[in-house]
Amino acid sequence: MDNVIDYYDVQGNIMINYAEFGYIKSRYVFIKITIGEDGRKFIKEIAPLITSSALMQNGTISLPEVTTNVSFTYNGLKILGVPILSLHAFPDEYVMGIRNRTSILGDNSASGPEHWDDVYRDDIHMFMSMDAKDDESLVKRYESIASIVDQIDGVELIQGCNNGRKELDKFQEASVLYDENGFPTAKEHFGYTDGISNPFFKGMTPEMGEVIGGGKKLNYNNPMVEENWGPIETGEFILGYRDEANEYPAAPIPKLLSKNGSFMVFNKFHENVGKFNEYLDTASEKYNIDKEELAAKFVGRWRNGAPMTTFPTQKAADEIADERQKAIFALNTAKTPEELAKAHEKFKEVNRHFIGFDFFDDIPGSRCPVGSHIRRANPRGALEFNSKDAFSTPAALDNRRRMIRRGLPYGIATMESNEGEHGTIIMTIVANIKRQFEFVVQQWLNYGNDFKLANDKDPITGNQDEDGGRLIIEGDEKQLPKYLAGIPRFIETRGGVYLFIPSLTAIKYISEGIVDPT
C-alpha cells in the first residue's frame, strides 16, 4: 500500500512528461510576493488551474488544452506564513538556494551568477509553468494568470526574463524546434534528439512511462526484456514514500506539507552552437574521425538519439530513428483520445530501442566512451569496470542518483551562433537535491574520478576551464584509442532556482495559512 499514489494530489509535472503528449509550447513565470496575505489570496485564485497527475489512469488519457503547475522557493514559503518549525525542517541546500551552491555546481566564469538573467538574481518566491499544444492556448492561460496578478497588490510577475527582445519580459518562453518542413522535432540546438529517457517508479501507470530503461535493472540479462527491469522506489522522486535505501526521504513537517511533494531544480542553459560546430570540424579532421561519429561519441548517442552501444553504425541508427520520428509525428497530430492512445503505444514500442540498453557488453567503452555524457548522467551499471556481475544488482551504485527531467529548448540558433538567446530549459525533479542533482553535477559531470578518468569532465555539459577539456575515445582490436583535447565550454548557465513542488493538499493548507507543524 506504500506505493499507492493519490494522482489527484500529486502535481502533473512530476509524473507526466507533457512533451510526450504534444505539449510543445511553454511559458515560465517567476513571482515575487511582498504581502503574505495577498500571496495566499493569489494561490487560492489560481489553485483551480493547477494540473494534477490524474490525467492518466485506468487506461484512459484525458488532457486539457493547457497545463499549469506551481512551486515555491524557501523565501516564498517564508513570506507566505509557513511556520518556522516547518521551514527549519527543509534541507539546507533548498534553504540556501542555488546561488549559494554555485561552487558545488561549477557555475563559474561565464556560468557565474553575474552573467545570469536579471530574474534569477532577483528574490523569486513562486514559480509557475504553463505547457500547451499551441501558442493560442498558452497565451490565453498566461494572460488569465497575469490578470489575476494585476488585481492583487502584494503579488507581481518579475520582469527580468531575457527572450532576446529589446525589453525584458515577465515570462521565459520555450518551444520545441522545427525542421525545415515546419514539423516539430525533439532536437535541441546542437542537433541532438533530447529528453529520451526518464525514470519509471512505483505507482506510475504504463501511460506515464516505461519500466524498460526507465526502471532499475534487476539482473544482467537482455535489457530489451521487461522482466529484467523493475520500477524504482517512489521515494527517490516523491516525498512520503520509501526510497531505494528502504527509508523515507528527509522531508519538512508536518506530513501533510511534504507528502506527495517533491523538489525541482530549474535551469536555463545557453548553448554555444558555433563553438560546438567549429570544434567538431577541427577535431574530426585532426583526429581522423567522421564528424557525425565524433558528435555521437561526445554524448553516447547519435544525434538522432540512437544509443551507440547498440547501434554502433550510423546506417543502423538512422533506420531506427526514422521509425521513431514517424511515431512522434503521429503523436503530435492525433485528433482524438483514441488516436492519441494508439500513437502513444506505437511510440513506446519504437522508443524501447532508444532506452532499453545498458553497457554490460561495452564496459571498456569501445562503442560508447566511458566519459560520454549518457554514461556520466545515468551510468546504467557502467561503473562496474572490467567486471560484469560485480554487485548483487547491476546498478547498485547509481539507482540513488536518478532524476526526472522536464523542459524544452528556447530561442533560435544558426550553425554559427554563440551570442544571443538560445539554449535549453531543464527542470530536474528529485526527492533530494543534494544527493541526486548536486552529486551528479559535481562528481559525474564536472569530475571523472568515479569513471577512472581523473579530472576529465563531461564533454558536452562540463564546465571546462580556459585550457579546454579532454575526452578519451577508447579503442578496440581494430583501432587505437584517440585522446581529444582543447574541448571548449559548450554550455553556460544563464540562471537557476531551487524549488519545492507541494501537493495539491499542501497548496490548500499554504493558501489558508493553516500549516501546523505541531
Q: What is the mean pLDDT of residues 87-111?
A: 97
Q: What is the mean pLDDT of residues 159-163?
A: 97
**DSSP reduced 3-state for 254:** coil
Which of 22-31, 179-188, 215-224, 339-348 is the least confident region? 339-348
CA gap 219, 392 in Å, rounded: 8
* Residue 60 pLDDT grade (very low, low, confident, very high; cuts 50, 70, 90): low
Q: How far is CA 32 from the centre of its chain?
A: 25
217-254 burial, b for 16+ CB within 10 Å, e for fewer?
Answer: beebeebeeeebbbbbbbbbbbbbbbbbeeebbebbbb
**Which residue is it, cell 523515507?**
248
Closest CA to 96 of 118, 75, 127: 75
- Residue 2 confidence (pLDDT) above 70: no
CA distances 483 to 84, 211, 462, Å, are 54, 36, 17
- Residue 417 confidence (pLDDT) above 80: yes
| Span 344-395, pLDDT tens digits | 788 888 999 999 999 988 888 999 999 999 999 999 877 765 566 667 777 7
Q: What percent of the chain clears pLDDT 70, i.e. is strictly above it? A: 97
Q: What is the mean pLDDT of residues 16-24?
A: 90
pLDDT for 357: 95
- Residue 59 confidence (pLDDT) above 70: no
Does 110 or 361 have the greater pLDDT score?
Answer: 110
* 376 and 447 Cβ atoms separated by less than 8 Å: no
Question: Is this prediction's pTM over 0.85?
Answer: yes
Phi and psi angles of residue 396, each rounded to the nearest 5 degrees, phi first: -60, -30
Does 383 or 502 have the greater pLDDT score?
Answer: 502
Which of 117-126, 242-251, 390-399, 452-461 is the least confident region? 390-399
| Span 201-227, pLDDT tens digits | 999 998 888 999 999 999 888 999 999
CA gap 97, 75 in Å, rounded: 9
CA distances 352 to 212, 327, 360, Å, are 7, 12, 17
| Span 255-281, pLDDT tens digits | 999 999 999 999 999 999 999 999 999
Which of 179-188, 415-424, 485-494 is the least confident region? 179-188
| Span 427-439, pLDDT tens digits | 999 999 999 999 9
- Residue 236 confidence (pLDDT) above 90: yes
* Residue 61 pLDDT grade (very low, low, confident, very high; cuts 50, 70, 90): low
On average, the pLDDT of the chain sits at 93
Q: Which three cell numbers stand for residue 181?
A: 518542413
CA gap 382, 376 in Å, rounded: 9
- Residue 80 confidence (pLDDT) above 90: yes
- Residue 1 confidence (pLDDT) above 70: no
| Span 475-484, pLDDT tens digits | 988 889 999 9
- Residue 314 confidence (pLDDT) above 60: yes
Does 2 or 71 have the greater pLDDT score?
Answer: 71
Does 441 or 207 have the greater pLDDT score?
Answer: 441
pLDDT for 479: 87
pLDDT for 390: 67
pLDDT for 86: 97
| Span 442-474, pLDDT tens digits | 999 999 999 999 999 999 999 999 999 999 999
* 482 and 289 Cβ atoms separated by less than 8 Å: yes
